[in-house]
Structure 1
Amino acid sequence: MLRIHSISETSFSNLTFLLSDRKSKMNLILLTFNYTDEPFLHEFNTHILNSIKKLNLDNLEESVLEKNLKEFFVALNWQLFSKFCRLEGNYEKGISLAFILSIKHKIYVIEFGRMLSGVLRKNKFEYIGRSWENFHIKTKQELFLFGSRDEDIHVKIYQTEIDDDSLFIAIPSLVVEDMKSKIDVSNLRRKIRYLYRKQNFPYVILSTKNFKIIPQEAALKKAWRRFWKK
């Protein structure tokens, strides 16, 4: 089972949610990222999270997992699009989101907007899904914020596996440039925590090794489990 090496906190309108199930060897992580902090974004985050909680993923067979996830995110996109259409004001229409599901050593990733992911294998970095290169010049169409399109969206589910001496990471594009040099397995967490102290942002790092979780993160895991069971 993959373990949480490090994870962010929920901050303003940027949601971090984690559910770990040792019995099924599963981790579910939801990260949302927004540049502004608006009351409606908190409401939309709650709607996304409550919808995901109803999926009951721990009882789904892997053979139907991708089909169910695609149908789920198509329907949820329509719901968010409807909510954004009712807003008055010049707000960005859509949310950046990363949905990460790990089962044993396999990882399923769904990305929207400015959330990106990759795997660091020793000193070699591999993108998962969209390339990190020149991401700051993406058009709105290329950016593909969740809830921004009035159509049955094409949901891409990326897969990868993590072995020993490798780390999976999901971060927003605003810190990508700081992650492109002198990063390896030994210093990735330290680099992320340094950037995180300067400016909060949603992120998660997964590994196969049983790294010690800092007390703050351990307390957060207990809180998330309580919230999930409500």
Structure 2
Amino acid sequence: MKFTHIAALCALSTAATFTQAAPVWQDFSITGLYGENYAHPVGMVDDLEQTTITAEYAAGLKYGDFFAFADRTNNDLSGNETYFEVAPRLSLGAVSGQKLAVGPIKDVLIATTWEGGEGFNNYLYGIGFALDIPYTQYANINFYKVENDGQEDDYQMTITYAVPFKIGSEEFLADAFLDWSTAEDDHASELNWTTQYKWNAGKHISPNTRLYVGIEHSVWNNKFGIKGVDQNDVSALVKYHF
């Protein structure tokens, strides 16, 4: 096992250990997606139908934050597949007891992620920044070194944000992630920008019901690191927060 692989595992373990505390807040949700323009490297097609069920958990903790999700799809590389990510972050401000805010940066964190799927595990470790951006519910940017399983290691930048807004009395939320990774000898650079645009239909059932309907727009260039496999898909979305 390479030294950097061991370092990645240690970073994940350390962040997970320090963030294991009673949540300051937490959220669990289930999402259903259906789209018809998914790209697939087999045959280089970009018009496959796909259904995805996603379970997500997010929490704010005393010493950091935690996010995890699992996707179950019916139309991935080997047919029905499950893909997951587990991403604890350790707040250096909380651990040190010092305020690390400067400009739009409100905290600095050790950022780690474990990506897993059918026959592979990738380990990401690096530095993250929690940002204070006007009109956003949250905004983050992480910079990772990536220990890839099955292809050359690379580097990745991940941006996440959420923007709530209203039209009249109706409540909406636009949230997104953007992953960009570097090209290496055996794979192309990837860019995956996925945005969900959601209407809070649940408030018409009861004040505490969080049922969202809307769309997910996915722009994924060089999908799976394969040059020329580009996806531009709009999927129908239903999301329920427990």
TM exceeds 0.5? no
* Structure of greater Rg: 2
Query: Normalising by structure 2, what TM-score?
Result: 0.25
* Structure with the larger RCO, 1 or 2 (CA within 8 Å, 6+ apart): 1
**Greater helix proportion:** 1
**Greater strand proportion:** 2
